[in-house]
Structure 1
Amino acid sequence: MPSPLGELLLISDGAALTGLYMNPHEQLPSDGQGGREWRREPAALRETAEQLAAYFAGELREFSLPLAPRGTEFQRTVWRALTTVPHGRTATYGGIARSIGRPNASRAVGMANNRNPISIVVPCHRVIGADGAMVGYGGGVSRKESLLGLEKGAALKA
Structure 2
Amino acid sequence: MMEATCVGYMDSPMGVIRMEASDTAIRRVDLVEKKGESRENEIIRKCRTELEDYFRGERKTFDIPLAPEGTAWQERVWKILETIPYGTTTSYGMVAAKAGNPKASRAAGGAIHNNPILILIPCHRVIGKNGSLTGFGSGLDNKRYLLELESGAGR
Q: So what's the TM-score if we normalise by structure 1? A: 0.86
Secondary structure at 2:112 match in 1 = helix
Q: So what's the TM-score if we normalise by structure 2? A: 0.88
Distance in 2, matches of 1:94 and 1:76, equals 17
* Counterpart for residue 15 of structure 1: 24
Report the CA distance between 1:40 and its aligned residue: 1.9
**Which amino acid is 2:23 matched to?**
G
Verify the 8 A CA contact 1:23 1:139 in the aligned structure 2: no
**Which amino acid is 1:41 matched to?**
E
Offset from partner CA, 1:31-87 (integer Å, 9 cap, x none)? xxxxxxx85215441110000000000000001111000100100000000011110
* Counterpart for residue 111 of structure 2: 112
1:3 maps to 2:12: yes
* Counterpart for residue 93 of structure 1: 92
Gaps of 5+ in 2: 1-9
Task: Name the count of aligned residue pairs.
Answer: 143
Verify the 8 A CA contact 1:78 1:109 in the aligned structure 2: yes
* Counterpart for residue 34 of structure 1: none
The 1:14/1:42 distance shift into structure 2, 3 A limit, reads closer
Percent sequence identity over aligned pairs:
43
Gaps of 5+ in 1: 25-37
Higher relative contact order, chain-length normalized (CA < 8 Å, sep 6+): 1
Verify the 8 A CA contact 2:18 2:31 in the aligned structure 1: yes
CA RMSD of aligned residues (A): 1.4
Q: Which has the higher strand share?
A: 2
Verify the 8 A CA contact 2:19 2:26 in the aligned structure 1: yes
Offset from partner CA, 1:96-128 (integer Å, 9 cap, x none)? 011121111100000000000001000000000
Distance in 2, matches of 1:126 and 1:22, equals 17
Verify the 8 A CA contact 1:125 1:144 in the aligned structure 2: yes
Q: Which runs of 4+ in 1 moved over 6 A?
A: none
**Which amino acid is 2:17 matched to?**
L
* Counterpart for residue 5 of structure 2: none
